[in-house]
Amino acid sequence: MKEVEEYLKPVLSQFDFSELRPSPAVSPADSGKGKGDSGKTKAGDSGKGRKGSPGKTKADGSGKGKASEAGKAKTKNKEKATTAPAGIEDIGECIILLLDKCLLEFPLEGLNIFQEKTISSVSRDFSLQMFYNRLHKDESENEFKKDGKKESRPKGEHRKSMKVPNLNRVLPPNCLPIDIHNVKYVVDPYNDVTERESDNPAQKFKTLLEKFEPFTLRWDGIMGNTQFASQADWEYLLNNCSAFIFSGLARFLLYTLLERLVAMNIPECQLVILSDLVHSKPSTARVINLDGFKSSVRLSLEKPTETTIFLSLAGVRSVIANQWYTTLEENATKMESLCENFIKVGKTTGQAVRFIQRSKSAVDEPPKTELDAPEDKKEDQRESPGGLMHPAPHPSALNTVLYGLPNMMFV
C-alpha cells in the first residue's frame, strides 16, 4: 500500500476529510471565545472543502485529477443539506471512487485518507454516467412488483404462499429498498466440495438460512449437492429476484454463458453478491479444461472487474465481489457477516462491506506475543494525512469491494 499511496499522492493531496472528524468537546470557559470567533472561522473556511450533507454520496475521481469537480460536488451537497427525521439513524458519509480501469486492481479502500471513522462507506464505480444511471432509475423499477411478475417454477410456489414477518424497518433518508423476501441463490453448482469438508459452501449456506429464519423462508435457489443448475435456471433466478447470491469456486462466468449474460436485462435485481474465486482440485481441473478452448481476449472478459461491468450493464445496482482468489473459510466468514449486517443489524450495502474492510482479518489470527519485533507493531499502524494513527487493514479484509450504490438496504 505504501507504493500506491506514493503513486496517488498528487491526487490524494487535493482531498481533505478532516472536517468529517467529530469536533472535540469545548469547556464552558472556552465557549465564549468560540462564539466570538465563529463568524470569522466560517467566513474564512467557506471557500475551502465543505462537508457533504448526511447520507449524500460524494464522487471521488482518482484518475487524472478531478479535485475541482469533487469540490463543486461538495458545495452543491452542502447547499442541499437535509436533516434526517427524529428517531431515524443516518447512513453517514459515503465515498464513491470513480476510477480508471487500471486502478481498479488495487485495494484503494485501504488508503489512509479513507480511514476516518466518520466515513461509513467506500465504494467504486466505473463512470459518473453509470453511477447516475444506477441512482436515477424509473420509480416503477424501485417498487416491489408484486403483480405482473413472471410465473415462478412450481418448486417455489409453496414458499410464496408462506406467511413470513416483515423486518418492520424504517428506510433512512436517501436509501433504496431491497425486498428481503425475494432473494435467489446458486451455491456450489458442480458440487466441487464434498459434504465431509468443514468449509462446504452448501452446508454453510444452509446453516445461514436456518440461522436467519423466518426472513429467509422465501429464499429460493439451487445447491449443487441436490440439483444441477442449467443455463435456463441461471437466467430464471437472475430475472426474478431482488438480490442474487452466488457462492462457489473458480469464477462466476465459468458457470454461466457470457453471451447470455450480456444480452440480459435484469433491472429488478438490485444486488448481486459474488462469493467465488476459490481454488480446489476439481475446480482447477475444470478451469484448465474449459479455458483451453478460449482465446486470451475471451479470458480477459471473464475477470472479476469485467464480470462486474457486465452485471452493471445488465441493470444491477450494486455488486459485492472479491478482487482476487481467497479461501472457502474466508468466503464463509464474510458471507455470514454480510447476512448478519443486512438482516439483523440493518446496515446498508456500503456499511456492511465497510464493516468487513475494517476488520483486522476475515479469519481470526493468532494473537501477537511480547516476543514480536517492535517494528511489526509500527507497521500495524499508519499515519493519515491529518496526523491521526489508523490501524492497517488486513489484505484479506480488503479483498471484498462494493461496486455501485452504497445506500441500499433490505426491508
CATH 3.40.50 fits 176-347, yes or no: yes
Q: Is-above-0.75 flag for pTM?
A: yes
Q: DSSP assignment of 183-224, as one string?
A: EEEEE-TT--S-TTSTT-HHHHHHHHHHHTTTTTTT-EEEET
| Residue 406 reports pLDDT greater than 50 | yes
Question: Does residue 263 have a pLDDT over 60?
Answer: yes
pLDDT for the residue numbered 151: 43
Rounded Cα–Cα distance for residues 247 and 260 (Å): 20
> How many residues in the chain?
411
Q: Which of 310, 338, 332 is nearest to 401 (CA)?
A: 338
Neighbours of 59 (CB within 10 A): 17
pLDDT tens digit string along 16-42? Answer: 777 666 655 444 444 444 444 444 434
- Judge whether residue 192 has pLDDT over 70: yes
Q: Reading across the β-sheet that carries 318-322, which strands appear in turn?
A: 57-61, 93-98, 119-125, 400-404, 318-322, 271-275, 243-247, 183-187, 220-223
pLDDT digits (tens, 9 = 90+) for 336-363: 999 999 999 999 999 999 999 998 644 4
Q: Residue 344's CB: how many other CB atoms inside 10 A?
A: 12
At 87 the pLDDT is 53
- With a cut of 50, say whether residue 279 has pLDDT above it: yes
Dump pLDDT digits (tens) for 327-338. 999 999 999 999
Task: Check pLDDT > 60 for residue 294.
Answer: yes
At residue 159, the pLDDT reads 56
Q: What angle, rounded to 10 degrees, do the helices at 328-339 and 201-211 form?
A: 20
Q: Beta strand 389-391 with 381-383: parallel, antiparallel or unpaired?
A: antiparallel
Residue 364 or residue 20, greater confidence:
20
- Please report the pLDDT score of residue 88 as a whole number: 60
Mean pLDDT of the chain: 78
The C-alpha cell at 199 is 468449509
308: closest CA among 378, 246, 218, 351? 246
% of the chain residues with pLDDT over 70: 68
CA–CA separation, 280 and 277 (whole Å): 10
Domain boundaries, the chain: 1-20+51-142+348-363+381-398, 176-347
CA angle (317, 248, 243) in 5-degree steps: 25
Q: Is residue 264 scored above 70 in pLDDT?
A: yes
Asked whether residue 176 carries a pLDDT value surpassing 90, the answer given is yes
Would you say residue 225 has pLDDT above 60?
Answer: yes
Task: Please say if the pLDDT value at position 114 is more than 50.
Answer: yes
Q: Is the pLDDT of residue 134 over 70?
A: yes
Mean pLDDT of 241-248: 97
CB–CB of 124/96 below 8 Å?
yes
Task: Give the pLDDT confidence score for residue 35 in this predicted structure.
Answer: 45
Mean pLDDT (whole number) for 234-247 = 97
- Whole-number pLDDT of residue 392: 63
CA angle 351, 355, 359 (to 5 degrees): 165
Mean pLDDT of 99-109: 90
Position 201 pLDDT exceeds 80: yes
Cell triple for 36 = 466570538
Indicate the pLDDT class of residue 199, thresholds 50, 70 and 90: confident
DSSP-derived letter for residue 20 is G
CA distance 25 to 195: 56
CB 400 within 8 A of CB 334: yes
Per the structure block, which three cell numbers stand in for 91?
A: 447512513
